[in-house]
Each structure stands twice: as C-alpha cells, then as structure tokens.
C-alpha cells in the first residue's frame, strides 16, 4: 500500500464503512467539491483521446450515478477525470426508491444499489448546466473542464408499455439537456426502474433512439450531439449481437455514435460475501469487481461485431491498471469507473490514468 493510499483506506475502513453508504457518498462528494479549489492548478494526467468527434483530456471518466444532479462536474475534473457523465436524469424529478438503497460489499470490492433514478429532474439540471456554462463563459481564466456526458432515463411514473409516452418522456430530457451535453446517453439498462430493461429490445429501442436523435438535433441549433446507448451485462449474447447490429445500422443512418458496456448486474454469482448477507440486502444492481469478466466479455463481443467505427466506452469492474489495460485491449475507446473510485479514494484516478496510458 503506497503512502498516499493508506490515509484514505484507514478513513474508509474505520469511518465510512460504519455509516449509511448513501450518507457517506454525499459527505465524500461534498469533500471533493470543497477540495477542488486546492487541486484545480494540477494538470490533467494522461494523453488526449479523440472520440465522438471531440478530444477527451484522457481515457478515464466518471460513470453515471456518481454526480446525478450536475453539482460537481468541474470538481471531479480536478481529480484527473477526463470526462464526467452526469445522471441518470429523468424528465420529471423523482425521489427514487425507499432508503436504505445503497450498500457496500467490501469483501467483493462491490457496491449494490437500488437508487431508482433519484434526481432533480431535467428542468432543474438544465438550469444548473446553463448556470455553469454562463459562469465558465464569464471567467476566461478557468481551466478547460472535463468533457460532459449527460445520461437520460425514463421517469418511473411513465408506463413502460406505452411507447409514445416513453418517447415523450425521453424527449423532454433530450430537449432540455442536449444544448449543454458533449455527448448524450440513453439509459435503458438500469435494473432499478421497473420495466426499463424491456426497452433494450431492438423493436422498441430503434424508434426511441431515432426520436431522441431528432429531438437533440432540433434542440441544439445544428450542433450535432453524439448519441450513445448504455446496455446491461445480463443480456444474452444473441441480444448483445442484436444491439450491436442495431448500432451499426444506426451509425450508418446518422442516429447513433456509440455504446456503453456495461451497466450494473442483477447476478449474484461468485460473490465472496456470504449468500445470506447478500440476500438480506435485497434487490438492486451490483457494480464493482464482480462485473469485470462479463463487462470485458460484452465489450469485446461488441467490438468484434461493430468494427472500428463506433465509439465504445468500457465500464464495470475496472479496479486496477491491469483491468483498464484489458478493457482497452478488448476494444474500448474510453473507460469509466465508479465503485473502485469509492474504495480507492480521490488520488486513485490519477494513478489509474498514468498506468493505463503509460
């Protein structure tokens, strides 16, 4: 354990693990935002990466779910992240599922959540992004911020079997948020909104993406915002192939630009945490080290199927430099992390970037 890691590990093991995980997240994120003023002079580590028609400062980003409401984009950038994906944001504000809804599995270096897309809603988040854009425009001395991804999902009250209502709900988010996004992500793969994963079926996904594409194009006044889809690790290989084929066709038709693989899993296979303890925690999506093998497998399968043109973002179980290099070797253009960031602390992103892009 390096000297820079030990203080955080001690704090995490002795303090953070003894409090509610969601409360610990909010306190930790508040500390990141407060500390960003000290770190803002540091150069972003790594080498630039060209993807989605833009230049990313480096290969590593924060996955959606960490900054749901766009309150710490630039603070996360000071930690060394080259891009930040906010959200998931829904058309309507919603409180999410009842608490407790976020749990750690330290033996597995994993996190279980059933948050349920708790967020302030597209209108409030759009106003926050507009204020950020004004602030940055007025302060020329500000360092360039991280590339901004905006992840949008379905509001819980919208019936998943009503395609027109689903499209209208995503339309609201895309219309309000696209003007501020460097790229836009359609999330149809969280396990914590009932029925959401049914939207991954190609016959439902294809018209939804086309509708979001039209909405984004109309909202941005001619600036094309790249569009991606985030998929689940629990899809059968045949369904992964079907989405890959849809992506290729969508890219050819000017609709889609990439895929993000993968979201959290509902599988509980191979965990070190005792089964009774895991069962007591209840339903939810699992992230962290248990996803490493399957997320890499899905990413590799997608790259083999879609070829070199589409952008692929690898996320899920990236816990070490070796994991990051494996995901890049499997075909990822960019990487995202969440759970390992929680376990390893604020100095970890810079170390990972330096090792992955060495």
211: Cβ–Cβ under 8 A, 6 or more apart, which residues? 167, 170, 171
Q: Is residue 66 annotated as involved in ligand binding?
A: yes
User: What's the CA gap between 195 and 213, in Å, rounded?
Assistant: 22
Q: Is residue 343 annotated as involved in ligand binding?
A: no
Q: What are phi and psi of 83, to 5 degrees?
A: -150, 155
Please identify which of the residues 155, 189, 190, 287 carries the catalytic annotation.
190
Decide: 114 and 284 in contact? Cβ < 8 Å: yes
Describe the crossing of helices 321-329 and 292-306 by its angle, rounded to 10 degrees: 20
Q: What are phi and psi of 160, to 5 degrees?
A: -70, -20
Q: Is residue 77 annotated as involved in ligand binding?
A: no
Q: Is residue 64 annotated as involved in ligand binding?
A: yes
Q: Is residue 257 annotated as involved in ligand binding?
A: no
Q: Is residue 263 annotated as involved in ligand binding?
A: yes
Cα–Cα distances in angstroms (integers) from residue 41 to residues 16, 35, 75, in the given order: 28, 12, 12
Query: What is the number of other CB atoms lying within 10 angstroms of the CB of residue 175?
Result: 18
38: Cβ–Cβ under 8 A, 6 or more apart, which residues? none
Lookup result for tokens 């994906």: 85
Q: Is residue 230 annotated as involved in ligand binding?
A: yes
Q: Is residue 117 annotated as involved in ligand binding?
A: yes
Q: Is residue 307 annotated as involved in ligand binding?
A: no
User: What's the CA gap between 123 and 126, in Å, rounded?
Assistant: 5
Q: Is residue 58 annotated as involved in ligand binding?
A: no
Q: Is residue 264 annotated as involved in ligand binding?
A: yes
Cα atoms in the 13 Å half-sphere on the side-chain side of 222: 0
Q: Is residue 192 annotated as involved in ligand binding?
A: yes
> Does 190 participate in catalysis according to the annotation?
yes
Helix (H) or strand (E) holding 304: helix 292-306
Q: Is residue 115 annotated as involved in ligand binding?
A: yes
Q: Is residue 14 annotated as involved in ligand binding?
A: no
Q: Which residues are annotated as a binding site for substrate?
A: 68, 113-117, 187, 192, 263-264
Q: Which residues are annotated as a binding site?
A: 64-68, 88, 113-117, 151, 187, 192, 230, 262-264, 288, 317, 338-339
Give the residue numbers annotated as catalytic, written as ranges: 190
């Amino acid at each position: 354990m390096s000297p820079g890691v030990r203080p955080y590990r001690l704090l995490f093991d002795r303090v953070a693990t003894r409090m509610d995980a969601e409360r610990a997240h909010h306190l930790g994120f508040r500390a990141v935002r407060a500390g960003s003023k000290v770190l803002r002079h540091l150069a972003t580590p790594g080498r630039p990466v060209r993807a989605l028609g833009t230049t990313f400062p480096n290969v590593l980003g924060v996955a959606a779910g960490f900054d749901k409401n766009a309150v710490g984009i630039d603070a996360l950038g000071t930690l060394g992240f080259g891009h930040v994906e906010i959200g998931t944001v829904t058309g309507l504000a919603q409180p999410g599922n009842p608490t407790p809804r976020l749990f750690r599995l330290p033996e597995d270096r994993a996190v279980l959540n059933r948050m349920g897309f708790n967020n302030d809603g597209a209108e409030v988040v759009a106003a926050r992004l507009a204020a950020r854009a004004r602030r940055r425009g007025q302060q020329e001395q500000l360092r360039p911020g991280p590339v901004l991804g905006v992840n949008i999902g379905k509001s819980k009250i919208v019936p998943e079997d009503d395609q027109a209502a689903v499209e209208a709900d995503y339309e609201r988010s895309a219309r309000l948020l696209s003007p501020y996004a460097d790229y836009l992500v359609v999330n149809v793969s969280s396990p914590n909104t009932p029925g959401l994963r049914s939207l991954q079926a190609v016959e439902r996904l294809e018209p939804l993406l086309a509708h979001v594409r039209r909405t984004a194009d109309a909202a941005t006044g001619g600036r094309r915002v790249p569009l991606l889809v985030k998929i689940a690790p629990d899809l059968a290989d045949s369904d992964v192939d079907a989405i890959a084929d849809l992506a290729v066709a969508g890219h050819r038709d000017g609709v889609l630009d990439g895929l993000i693989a993968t979201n959290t899993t509902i599988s509980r296979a191979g965990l070190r945490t005792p089964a009774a303890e895991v069962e007591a925690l209840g339903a939810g999506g699992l992230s962290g080290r248990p996803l490493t093998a399957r997320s890499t497998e899905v990413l590799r399968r997608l790259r083999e199927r879609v070829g070199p043109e589409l952008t692929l973002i690898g996320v899920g179980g990236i816990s070490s430099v070796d994991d990051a290099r494996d995901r890049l070797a499997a075909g990822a253009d960019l990487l995202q992390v969440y759970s390992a960031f929680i376990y390893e602390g604020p100095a970890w992103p810079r170390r990972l970037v330096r090792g992955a892009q060495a």
